[in-house]
């Protein structure tokens, strides 16, 4: 992939609006996505995952990108598992493929950098391959989806080939712990991950609670052994039949993270990062500037855990964002 000419991207202070326009056009022509915000000019290559932050560039506020940096879309509430800690809504709902395509176009035009399809279980939505293909061909956004992986087969992999930049696989515990929580064979998951790794780079999403915290070290070693490149910690949030992570498990997680020297990149959800040693170069971009979620009923929310949001309806996502911001809560410094 061509690299942008960084010699043209390094002004010391404020520069004219036309420079920012030229910069965005230049980098996009090279296959990069460019986003402006309070932290500076952010360049992202969706095909390689490379991020470049020009934090010495002072971007005028009226040029800050309007869309969230990342947006997740729950394509369906349907799932063939029944995990007790699941927070996803249980009523029947599914998004129309054409409607989601229109959202992808809007988000892309306002400098969203990544789109993540989820659910429920997104592989139960018949439009998943079409949506991934569309996003890959017609946008500059990274394309990901989150799955339990048990429904990924050769046919689905063939339809998704070349259209997905990253896959997130939900795995809570190893061995008997996983089987008790997910109701599926852990050996079957290990076999499925061999197919997943041929499709795209992948990482593990790991819910941390009283049952899974003891398996953390074994889970990381297993994930590295099957080819994962990232391990995302998700301290349990209230949902389904479960509550928030208990204090003892939270302290065990903090101790484990502080002494972690494992083989995988370790990441953590924003809501669970308090008190942990994290590196966030975009600390001035939070809330709806950083992330938003659209549920399977077409409601825009601050996160997938929120119970309330703004129905997008026949309006645009940006209009819904303005309404949601008006409800309170800052997201930019």
Instruction: Indicate which CATH number applies to the domain containing 268.
Output: 3.20.20.70
In terms of Cα–Cα distance, which of 305, 320, 275 is closest to 107?
320
Same domain, yes or no: 250 and 319: yes
**In a shared domain, residues 50 and 99:** no
**248 domain residue, yes or no:** yes
Residue that terminates a domain, selected from 14, 37, 63? 63
CA angle 248, 254, 256 (to 5 degrees): 105
Helix/strand/coil for 214? helix
Residue 87 lies in a domain: yes
Q: What is the pLDDT of residue 282?
A: 87
How high is the pLDDT of residue 319?
95
Whether residues 43 and 95 share a domain: the answer is no
What does the pLDDT read at residue 333?
A: 43
**Average pLDDT, stretch 205-230?**
97
Range of the domain at 12: 6-63
End of a domain among 19, 38, 63? 63
Confidence of residue 14 (pLDDT cuts 50, 70, 90): very low
Q: Please indicate, yes or no, whether residues 273 and 211 belong to a single structural domain of this protein.
A: yes
Task: Give the pLDDT confidence score for residue 177 in this predicted structure.
Answer: 96
Q: Residue 10 pLDDT > 60, yes or no?
A: no
Instruction: Check pLDDT > 90 for residue 242.
Output: no
Residue 333: inside a domain: no
> How far, in Å, CA of 28 to CA of 254, rounded?
40
Q: Do 177 and 282 fall into the same domain?
A: yes
Asked if residue 279 and residue 178 are part of one domain, the reply reads yes
Q: Which H or E element spans position 232?
A: strand 230-235
pLDDT digits (tens, 9 = 90+) for 277-331: 888 888 888 889 999 999 999 999 999 888 889 999 888 999 999 999 998 754 5
Q: Is residue 175 part of a domain?
A: yes
DSSP at 332: B
Which helix (H) or strand (E) is 44 found in, with range? strand 40-44
In terms of domains, do 41 and 148 share one?
no
> Facing residues of 118 across strands?
74
Q: Are residues 270 and 197 in the same domain?
A: yes
Q: Greatest CA span in the chain, whole angstroms?
A: 60
Residues 164 and 253 in one domain: yes
Cα–Cα distance measured from residue 19 to residue 39, given in angstroms and rounded to the nearest whole number: 17
Q: Does residue 90 share a domain with residue 31?
A: no
Q: What is the pLDDT of residue 292?
A: 96
pTM over 0.95: no
| Total domains, the chain | 2
Residue whose C-alpha is closest to residue 322's, from 284, 296, 285, 289 = 289
- Return the minimum-mean-pLDDT range out of 53-62, 72-81, 118-127, 160-169: 53-62
Residue 2's pLDDT band, with cuts at 50, 70 and 90, is low
| Residues 22 and 113 both lie in one domain | no
Nearest to 193 by CA among 205, 181, 183: 205
pLDDT band at 12 (very low <50, low <70, confident <90, very high): very low
Structure letter (DSSP) for residue 285: B
């Amino acid at each position: 992939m061509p690299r942008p000419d960084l010699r043209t991207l390094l002004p010391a202070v404020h520069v004219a609006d036309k420079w920012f326009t030229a910069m965005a056009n230049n980098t996009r022509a090279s296959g990069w996505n460019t986003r402006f915000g309070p932290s500076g000019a952010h360049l992202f290559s969706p095909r390689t995952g490379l991020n470049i932050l020009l934090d010495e560039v002072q971007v005028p506020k009226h040029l800050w990108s309007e869309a969230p940096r990342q947006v997740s879309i729950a394509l369906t509430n349907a799932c063939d598992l029944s995990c007790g800690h699941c927070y996803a809504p249980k009523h029947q709902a599914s998004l129309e493929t054409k409607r989601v395509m229109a959202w992808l176009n809007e988000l892309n035009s306002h400098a969203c950098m990544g789109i993540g399809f989820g659910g429920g279980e997104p592989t139960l939505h018949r439009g998943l391959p079409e949506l991934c293909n569309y996003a890959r061909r017609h946008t500059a956004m990274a394309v990901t989806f989150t799955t339990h992986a048990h429904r990924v087969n050769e046919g689905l992999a063939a339809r998704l080939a070349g259209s997905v930049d990253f896959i997130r696989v939900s795995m809570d515990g190893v061995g008997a712990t996983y089987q008790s929580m997910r109701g599926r064979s852990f050996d079957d998951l290990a076999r499925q991950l061999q197919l997943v790794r041929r499709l795209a780079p992948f990482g593990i999403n790991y819910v941390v609670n009283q049952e899974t915290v003891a398996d953390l070290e074994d889970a990381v070693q297993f994930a590295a052994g099957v080819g994962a490149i990232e391990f995302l910690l998700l301290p349990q949030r209230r949902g389904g039949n479960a509550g928030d992570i208990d204090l003892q498990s939270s302290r065990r997680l903090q101790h484990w993270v502080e002494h972690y020297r494992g083989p995988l990149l370790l990441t953590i959800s924003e809501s669970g990062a308090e008190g942990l040693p994290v590196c966030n170069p975009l600390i001035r971009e939070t809330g709806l500037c950083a992330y938003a979620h659209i549920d399977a009923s077409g409601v825009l929310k601050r996160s997938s855990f929120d119970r309330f949001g703004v129905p997008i309806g026949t309006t645009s996502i940006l209009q819904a964002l303005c309404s949601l911001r008006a409800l309170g809560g800052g997201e930019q410094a």
